[in-house]
A and B are shown apart, each in its own frame.
Chain A
Amino acid sequence: MSGGAFVGMPAFPPFPRAAHEAVRNTTLRANLRHATHTIRDKRARAVAELDDWAELREAGKRIKDETLRHLDRYLEQLEESVVRAGGTVHWAADAAEANRIVTELVRATGETEVVKVKSMATQEIGLNEALEAEGIHAYETDLAELIVQLGKDRPSHILVPAIHRNRGEIRDIFREEMGAWGRPAPDGLTDTPAELADAARLHLREKFLRAKVGVSGANFMVAETGTLVVVESEGNGRMCLTLPETLISVVGIEKVVPTWRDLEVFLQTLPRSSTAERMNPYTSMWTGTSDAQTADGPRAFHLVLLDNGRTDTLADEVGRQALRCIRCSACLNVCPVYERAGGHAYGSVYPGPIGAILSPQLRGTGSEIDASLPYASSLCGACYEVCPVAIDIPEVLVHLRERVVQGGEVTRRGVKVTLKPARGHAAERAAMRAAGFVFARPGALRLGQRLASRTRRFHPRTLPGPGRAWSAARDLPKVPAEPFRDWWERTRGGAAQGSGRQEVSGK
């Protein structure tokens, strides 16, 4: 397991504790509610336009599963193709290795600045922080990432990293912080979207024109030709991918697809699922390096293939479906828990339902936050319903809960290890065992029910201790005068009375 990305960062509190604060933040709640419901409704309309959506979803799932089954083969094919096209391929087992590779590559150019395309993989490994520690400044060029970077904040959404910020907050961040990073915000900047976008455009344009090194991720890598694909909306990606002389792409190994034909499926499902667009505005594809005759494209291209827990995840036959994810974030936008807890509560660059199953697999379940993530769901299933590659997120959540409470065999850095049950579940384990004992014996169950019924006058309306978690916000149900089974036994289903309802005498 590699926690490289989080070295030096404070440990994240377990999900319930982080969420406790977030649900009380009314501004955050309002921002998230407005944003997620808007995207959610638009997505539903965009998806409903396609009468073959179910088939596209199934095809996407199958392509990903087939690729993951033969991942070694497709990665080697990809490497060959990239090298043939003039690129260089680097293999990084974990975050630290990936950061080291990128740092050395930037250093070799003699540059101390890089411009970045929005990339989840580089956030996962904490690349910006690692580069900064070596005196290299990384500038985020995606509008939302820029807001996050200027605000010294953390992203809280995969697609819309600054979803937790409203226009007024963004204006304040631009006014206060832009000057320290480059061109300051124009005087009298208001919170209208057009003015904010314009301020960002002016600020970023200087960076694009100056930078000699670009850093990106990729949405897809096509094994047969070595082509990388970035799907985006703002055009900043296109600038970063074409203007700098050196391009370094850090990509998770699960992003490979075998052929161009496979893109046909994902280029339909990804935009509709993420931004609710029929087609995204910018799709950039590049294959290796451009020669001197070509106007566009980098002169040097490096692909860093990132494992960082992916091979271990692949070894788990239930959990591996998480690797199908194409980072559309549809699951975040429909999740009632995400909507109320916000992205930061997930303690990872991957928030929401997909984060709750990815982080504890990529990082292991050793930390408080990672052991709490599988429980950050009511298992309502809305995420599975919208997932364009049919990841059964509730199934994986329950699977990971089992890993937390029961332990068992997992793969860590390619080696099979046996996990012990996590601490902090002793009372729950005892309760489950006790319940199992009672439920194995109908007589014991009846005894308990009768005891509850007979003492019902003395039941409190609220509970002390751990029971407060229920009764702080909800009244307890009233225990009836007799359980159903006693009524049934007494009346044989009310047959004697000819009625299904009757007063209980209290016997």
Chain B
Amino acid sequence: MRVALFLTCVNDTLYPDTGRAVVKLLTRLGVEVDFPAAQTCCGQAHYNTGYRHQAEPLARHFSDVFGTDAYDAIVTPSGSCGAMVRELYPRMGERARAEGRGDGLARRLAPVVAKTYELTEFLVDVLGVTDVGAYYPHKVTYHPTCHGLRSLGLGERPLRLLRAVKGLELVSLPGAEECCGFGGTFAVKNSDVSAAMGADKVRHAESTGADVLCAADNSCLMHIGGTMTRLRTAVRPVHLAEILASTEEEPLS
């Protein structure tokens, strides 16, 4: 099994540890991982801010980079970028068709739509594993990010993976399904509401007594984590992939 790591521009630039964790985890599970160096950005921020036409070249570039037969699957450690490809690329194709521009865009994007998996989907559905041999002796609470929860319908997958981690104590997060308030450009366009949502999320995480708030999307964790350090809370944000990559031999520091 050979997969392309669609790391996302945010992870590539700001969270390389998450990328290294995905590589380590998948390699340990016997998957051959490649990082196509020409990858940049899926176009989500453009699309969701109203710049659909400027997101189109990025989507075409994405498809050129990832849509080759060389890969059995495209795997991403981001619920929202995964949802961009799976849910919104087809919609972009439909809109182009409705605007009288033909099937070209839809056809060009089709190969990546079918092959893109969010990390937990890939582990549970494609590889068929829930116990990935991880060890993480911490008290952890899980925040299901909105696109993972509602667009991709990840459901219990992340929790099943976490429950199988040795040493990990999983505690449930009050108001887990409520948005953390990131929302891409929403975080700056409506910063007051966004910050209020973030503060509530952090307060809930703190109330669990967990050391770690885990999620499968670093964009949300950037907002939650930035709020945590500002509020000087004891809880730390950690991406799910880093927990799953951690083992007794090589624990996550």
| A interface residues, Cβ below 8 angstroms from B | 15-16, 19-20, 23, 29, 317-318, 336-337, 340-341, 374-382, 384-385, 395, 398, 400-406, 428-429, 432-433, 435-436, 438-442, 445, 449, 452, 466, 469-470, 472-477, 479-480, 482-485, 487-489, 493-494, 499-501
Main secondary structure on B side of the interface with A: helix
**Which residues of chain B come closer than 8 Å to A436, judged between CB atoms?**
46, 54, 57-58
Contact B54 A433, beta carbon cutoff 8 Å:
yes
State the CA gap A473–B54 with chains docked (Å).
Answer: 30
Q: What interface size band does chain B fall in?
A: 35 or more
State the CA gap A341–B43 with chains docked (Å).
Answer: 29
Determine whether B193 belongs to the interface, using a CB cutoff of 8 Å to chain A: yes
Contact A483 B13, beta carbon cutoff 8 Å:
yes
Chain B CB count within 10 A is highest, among A20, A376, A474, A488, for: A474
**Which residues of chain A come closer than 8 Å to B85, judged between CB atoms?**
none
State the CA gap A439–B196 with chains docked (Å).
Answer: 32
What's the least CB distance linking A243 to chain B, in Å?
Answer: 44
Contact A501 B24, beta carbon cutoff 8 Å:
yes
Specify the chain B residue showing the minimal Cβ separation from A337: B193
What's the least CB distance linking B38 to chain A, in Å?
Answer: 5
Contact A480 B16, beta carbon cutoff 8 Å:
yes
**Which residues of chain A come closer than 8 Å to B208, judged between CB atoms?**
none
Contact B182 A378, beta carbon cutoff 8 Å:
yes
Determine whether B21 belongs to the interface, using a CB cutoff of 8 Å to chain A: yes
Determine whether B53 belongs to the interface, using a CB cutoff of 8 Å to chain A: yes
State the CA gap A405–B189 with chains docked (Å).
Answer: 14
> Can you list 24 A-B pairs with a CB-CB distance of less than 8 A?
A16-B190, A29-B196, A336-B178, A336-B197, A375-B185, A379-B184, A380-B150, A381-B146, A384-B150, A395-B91, A400-B50, A402-B50, A439-B40, A439-B58, A473-B199, A475-B229, A479-B13, A483-B16, A484-B15, A485-B12, A487-B16, A493-B27, A501-B24, A501-B245
What 9 pairs across the A-B complex have the smallest Cβ distances? A500-B24, A378-B183, A401-B50, A474-B226, A473-B195, A380-B179, A484-B16, A484-B19, A381-B150
State the CA gap A436–B196 with chains docked (Å).
Answer: 31
Contact A16 B58, beta carbon cutoff 8 Å:
no
Given A436-B57, A499-B250: A474 and B223 interface contact (C-beta under 8 Å) = yes
5 further A-B contacts with Cβ under 8 Å, apart from A341-B193, A381-B146, A473-B230, are: A382-B150, A435-B45, A435-B46, A475-B226, A493-B35
Q: Select one of B23, B186, B191 contacting A379, CB under 8 A.
A: B186
Chain B CB count within 10 A is highest, among A15, A374, A445, A501, for: A501
Contact A23 B196, beta carbon cutoff 8 Å:
yes
**Which residues of chain B come closer than 8 Å to A442, judged between CB atoms?**
37-40
Determine whether B164 belongs to the interface, using a CB cutoff of 8 Å to chain A: no
Contact A494 B40, beta carbon cutoff 8 Å:
no
Given A337-B190, A381-B151, A439-B40: A482 and B50 interface contact (C-beta under 8 Å) = no
Contact A401 B9, beta carbon cutoff 8 Å:
no
State the CA gap A299–B57 with chains docked (Å).
Answer: 64
**Which residues of chain B come closer than 8 Å to A401, judged between CB atoms?**
48-50
Contact B37 A489, beta carbon cutoff 8 Å:
yes
Contact A432 B226, beta carbon cutoff 8 Å:
no
Contact A19 B190, beta carbon cutoff 8 Å:
yes
Specify the chain B residue showing the minimal Cβ separation from A385: B150
Given A381-B146, A439-B61: A473 and B91 interface contact (C-beta under 8 Å) = no
**Which residues of chain A come closer than 8 Å to B54, judged between CB atoms?**
432-433, 436
Contact B35 A19, beta carbon cutoff 8 Å:
no
What's the least CB distance linking B50 to chain A, in Å?
Answer: 3
Determine whether B225 belongs to the interface, using a CB cutoff of 8 Å to chain A: yes
What's the least CB distance linking A507 to chain B, in Å?
Answer: 14
Q: Select one of A435, A445, A476, A494 contacting B226, CB under 8 A.
A: A476
Contact B250 A501, beta carbon cutoff 8 Å:
yes
Q: Which of B29-63 contact A (CB under 8 A)?
A: 33, 35, 37-41, 43, 45-54, 57-58, 61
**Which residues of chain B come closer than 8 Å to A489, judged between CB atoms?**
37
Determine whether B130 belongs to the interface, using a CB cutoff of 8 Å to chain A: no
Contact A473 B193, beta carbon cutoff 8 Å:
no
Specify the chain A residue showing the minimal Cβ separation from B47: A398
Contact B40 A475, beta carbon cutoff 8 Å:
no
State the CA gap A185–B13 with chains docked (Å).
Answer: 65
**Which residues of chain B come closer than 8 Å to A29, judged between CB atoms?**
196
**Which residues of chain B come closer than 8 Å to A400, judged between CB atoms?**
50
**Which residues of chain B come closer than 8 Å to A381, judged between CB atoms?**
146-147, 150-151
State the CA gap A384–B179 with chains docked (Å).
Answer: 14
Chain B CB count within 10 A is highest, among A29, A440, A442, A473, for: A473
Contact A487 B20, beta carbon cutoff 8 Å:
yes
Specify the chain A residue showing the minimal Cβ separation from B150: A381
Q: Select one of B48, B185, B186, B196 contacting A340, CB under 8 A.
A: B196
Contact B12 A376, beta carbon cutoff 8 Å:
no
What's the least CB distance linking B204 to chain A, in Å?
Answer: 12
Contact B192 A19, beta carbon cutoff 8 Å:
yes
State the CA gap A402–B225 with chains docked (Å).
Answer: 30
